[in-house]
Amino acid sequence: QVQFVESGGGLVQPGGSLGLSCAASGSIFSIFSMGWYRQAPGKQRELVATITTRGSTNYADSVKGRFTISRDNAKNTVYLQMNNLKPEDTAVYHCNLPLVPQVWGQGTLVTVSS
């Protein structure tokens, strides 16, 4: 079982930037793809970015060109750099393993508002 601790969220104005981190416990981190998810109020959780063990990335159309996912296997950590944030990016952000989903962490709240 892998446990996740997400951090880095906060309040930011439209057009601003934030960087999120997700520290994962467990030895399987380095052998699976990782993903960042978000859940906005009243909406279902959606997958916004994934990264394979070799660093190949994929993004939801809604964040493509604005978000960048990366990982450091030595630190069991995955990152999400978010630029040009929009109010519709407001959500609780989580990380998890898309292929073998684990128990969800608490997530980190991102609020984009003026």
Instruction: Tell me what pLDDT residue 88 has.
Output: 96
Asked if residue 29 has pLDDT above 90, the reply is no
Q: Please report the pLDDT score of residue 26 as a whole number.
A: 75
HEC secondary structure over the chain: CCCEEEECCEEECCCCCEEEEEEECCCCHHHCCEEEEEECCCCCCEEEEEECCCCCEEECCCCCCCEEEEEEHHHCEEEEEECCCCHHHCEEEEEECCCCCCCCCCCEEEEECC
Q: What average pLDDT does the segment 98-109 reach? A: 92
30-74 per-position pLDDT tens digit: 788 999 999 999 999 999 999 999 999 999 999 999 999 999 988
pLDDT 10s digits, 104-114: 999 999 999 99
pLDDT value of residue 105:
93
